[in-house]
Structure 1
Amino acid sequence: MELAPRSFPGPRRLLPLLALLALSVGAVIDWPMEEGKEVWDYVTVREDAHMFWWLYYATNPCKNFSELPLVMWLQGGPGGSSTGFGNFEEIGPLDSDLKPRRTTWLQAASLLFVDNPVGTGYSYVNKSGAYAKDLAAVASDMMVLLKTFFDCHKEFQTIPFYIFSESYGGKMAAGIGLELYKAIQQGTIKCNFAGVALGDSWISPIDSVLSWGPYLYSMSLLEDSGLAEVSKVAEEVLDAINSGLYKEATQLWEKAEMVIEQNTDGVNFYNILTKSAPESVLESGLEFTHSHLARLCQRHVRHLQQDTLSRLMNGPIRKKLKIIPEDHTWGGQAANVFVNMEEDFMKPVISIVDKLLAAGVNVTLYNGQLDLIVDTMGQEAWVRSLKWPELPKFNELKWKALYSDPKSLETSAFVKSHKNLAFYWILRAGHMVPSDQGDMALKMMRLVTQQE
């Protein structure tokens, strides 16, 4: 294990983010609370594979960071950047306009954003053969990063550490969580691992695909003939998965999405109350061998690095960080990350969630009511297939209503919790829960981390 190449300086502790950004873009920004410390760096997790991380220390005015948990955020895609989208579009201290976010999670936890798999965001590879191709490689790389992080930042070794995630990030979080649990048991990593939170997560792709038709039909977004078309291609996906043909299943998955778009007049897979925006070209040096991969990459990676965010990350943020290689741009290898994980897309990881539960690891699931790509019906389906002995008792429980505003009678979510499994149904939210319902997402995080 080694840190980033010698041409890179060590961990950065520079001027606070807002002050630097104000200088770099000429903006005047008022920060409503005391600014906290930041650290960022690269870790070389394998030869030719360099992973970027960015830590914000908690800035709660009433508590020291040591009294609050550490939350690592993992984005989806694969190829979506945590340091970009998760940070500036969802839970970080600033939004993409460099304005303070009222619902930043930084007020309740220190935040660790990691660009993974390698090649995502500011992370990069020197050779094409260094991309991760499956969940095992993704988890192995993250173990190297986490060991380096906790060895260098011993102040976080005893602080409760949670892995929060979204979309494909949830699939990675499950695998990473299990490997981290093993590493702690073996004594190779020292940290206070407190649980994983899987948001709108791609845990069982086939359960999502099979539920698309019924969900859209129930929401008046498909009629009878459209439902029949979607159900037919969904069964084709199921047959491919049952035959172990995962690349073919990925291709059929894209076909199913096209059938849905044609029958729904372009429904947005990330929020069914909206329509998909016209697709723009994803900048990449990658030559797509198959058109279905190009379309999938456009649909599931491009939206995580829109032009405004890309300009921010390749402009003032890059200037602030100072350690990004000159020949690498933020998001420049995202398409390659996506394509290299092609055979992993449709593989389920329900068994990994079962292992986490059996090990006593706290597992939280949360899902946006308006999400299609990972709709709640599909999530509930795979949960019912868990082999966890406590599942019957979990199923018998009635859910509890939650309110993001204690003065309002408007229900924001429902929750059901038993032992080390919890499920949050987040209302009026699509795939990106913190973006759509920031107050409820922050409340959920506080509940999961036992602050409420």
Structure 2
Amino acid sequence: MEPGRQLLGAPLLLLLAAFSSGLFLREPKEPKQAWGYVPVRSNASMFWWLYYADNPTKNFTELPLILWLQGGPGASGCGYGNFEEIGPLDADLKPRRTTWLQAGSVLFVDNPVGTGYSYVNDSSAYATDLCKVTSDMLVVLEKFFNSKTEFQTIPFYIFSESYGGKMAAAIALELHKAIEAKMIKCHFLGVALGDSWISPLDSVLSWGPYLYSTSYLDDKGLKEVTGAAKKILNAMNRKEYKLATMLWSSAEDIIEESTNGVNFYNILTPDSSSLTSTTSELVPFLKLFQRHVQYQHKDKLSDLMNGPVRKKLKIIPDHVKWGGQAQEVFEHMAEDFMKHAIDVVDDLLEANVNVTVYNGQLDLIVSTIGQEAWIRKLKWPKLKHFSDQKWQPLYACPKSKETAAFFKSYDNFAFYWILKAGHMVPADQGDMALKMVRMVTRQDH
């Protein structure tokens, strides 16, 4: 492992601020950080960025460590998750009021290889399935905990979003096995699957009913979307997974046309990722990448990551451009994209690993009713006990009278229904997301 570099000299915050003058009137306190590369294979390296917890009353050793996994596949946690959702600074380099560093240390990893600052040296090194993604991440975690021994006994959780949830489930299961085999030393306590691509088919089948119930489709539109979803179902039943991915792209085209461009990530927000042109036979995968990954590499963030951040980190190889290999990451995972991971969640529950599912009310791409559908398919013996529980309302803060979420749990399984949030829950409802993190990590009940 290339050693992470802790910030003991010029603060990153001030260095970054120098590139955007006038953002700060006084010097804010900067959280301690470290970062580095892990060569996971001879032709592939993964980048990680650690922020130590920044809490006014507790030392980082008294708070958990949270691994954040972004979606895509091909979207960067070190970039998007960090500066757009949960890190200490937003993309304007202003302090984020709802940063998760208040609740724990946060480890971002650009995953799979080729994502963000992570890179491959030849095309044969890209991951093509969940198995390779998982084995690479286990190398990172083993090296991290061996290097950062202060975190070996601190409670460790994996939080995720979108396709990152599918990866998180598989990584959590293999991490649990590695800990039991004494291959990795860490205090792993659970995984949280946010708006997660656990069952793509259940998500797709929910699109028509969800849009119809929210008046984004009429009867004719519902029929068209349902017909497109059935084509995907038939391809999945024939195990034609790459075809299913292509049909998925076609279904989204129908939705965009029928709804006048509804935002797949928050149905109440104007869509800034709609496509205006199509090209060539490669269009299904290119369109999917542009619609679901490229928007997370938008110009402002890309300029930040390839400019001030890159200069500060100092270890990014000259040939690596942040996000430069993202499209290849996505396309190499096309065969795996539509496969479900419901059985992985079942295995986690059976292994007594704590599993949390959370979902935004306004998310279309991974709608809440789609999440509920795959949960009903779990073979977990205690599922009926979970289902029989009455959900409880949650409030973002003690003084608030507005319901911010609903919550239900039984044994080692929990579900959070986050109101007024889309696909990116921490970005849409930062206060409630932070409260949820504290609840999942047993700091707030």
Same topology, TM > 0.5: yes
Counterparts of 2:239 and 2:406, CA distance in 1: 36
Q: Who is 1:448 aligned against?
A: 440
The answer on whether the counterparts of 1:25 and 1:316 sit within 8 Å (CA) in structure 2 is no
Question: How many Å apart are 1:407 and its aligned residue?
Answer: 1.4
Taking the TM superposition and a 5 Å limit, the aligned residue runs for 1:200-349 are 200-277=195-272, 279=274, 290-349=282-341
The answer on whether the counterparts of 1:78 and 1:341 sit within 8 Å (CA) in structure 2 is yes
Taking the TM superposition and a 5 Å limit, the aligned residue runs for 1:119-138 are 119-138=114-133
1:13 aligns with 2:6: yes
Counterparts of 2:311 and 2:26, CA distance in 1: 21
Question: How many Å apart are 1:34 and its aligned residue?
Answer: 3.8
- State the TM-score, normalized to the length of structure 1: 0.95
The answer on whether the counterparts of 1:21 and 1:27 sit within 8 Å (CA) in structure 2 is no
Q: Who is 1:388 aligned against?
A: 380
Give the residue type in structure 2 aligned to 1:252.
Answer: L
Question: How many Å apart are 1:53 and its aligned residue?
Answer: 0.2
Counterparts of 1:262 and 1:197, CA distance in 2: 34
Question: How many Å apart are 1:322 and its aligned residue?
Answer: 0.4
Counterparts of 1:320 and 1:129, CA distance in 2: 31
Q: Tell me the secondary structure at the aligned position of residue 343 of structure 1.
A: coil
5+ residue gaps, structure 1 = 5-9
The answer on whether the counterparts of 1:92 and 1:105 sit within 8 Å (CA) in structure 2 is yes
Q: Who is 2:45 aligned against?
A: 50
1:361 aligns with 2:353: yes
Counterparts of 1:414 and 1:212, CA distance in 2: 22
1:177 aligns with 2:169: no
Question: How many Å apart are 1:406 and its aligned residue?
Answer: 1.6
Distance change in 2, residues 1:289/1:27 (3 Å)? farther
1:195 aligns with 2:187: no
Distance change in 2, residues 1:66/1:278 (3 Å)? closer
Deviations 1:78-131 (A, max 9, x none): 000000000000000000000000000001100000000000000000101100
The answer on whether the counterparts of 2:275 and 2:291 sit within 8 Å (CA) in structure 1 is no
Distance change in 2, residues 1:395/1:31 (3 Å)? farther
Partner residue of 2:99 out of 104, 107, 112: 104
Q: Who is 1:7 aligned against?
A: none
The answer on whether the counterparts of 2:72 and 2:292 sit within 8 Å (CA) in structure 1 is yes
1:370 aligns with 2:370: no
Distance change in 2, residues 1:23/1:278 (3 Å)? closer
The answer on whether the counterparts of 1:16 and 1:37 sit within 8 Å (CA) in structure 2 is no
Distance change in 2, residues 1:170/1:309 (3 Å)? same
Distance change in 2, residues 1:423/1:291 (3 Å)? same
Partner residue of 1:92 out of 87, 93, 96: 87
Question: How many Å apart are 1:274 and its aligned residue?
Answer: 2.5
Q: Who is 2:399 aligned against?
A: 407
The number of aligned residues is 441
- State the TM-score, normalized to the length of structure 2: 0.97
1:151 aligns with 2:146: yes
Alpha-carbon RMSD across the aligned residues, in angstroms, is: 1.6
Counterparts of 1:438 and 1:406, CA distance in 2: 15
Deviations 1:299-356 (A, max 9, x none): 0011111110000000100011000111111000000000000001100000000000
5+ residue gaps, structure 2 = none
Counterparts of 1:273 and 1:36, CA distance in 2: 35
Q: Tell me the secondary structure at the aligned position of residue 145 of structure 2.
A: helix
Deviations 1:410-451 (A, max 9, x none): 100000010000000000000000000000000000000000
Counterparts of 1:394 and 1:225, CA distance in 2: 37
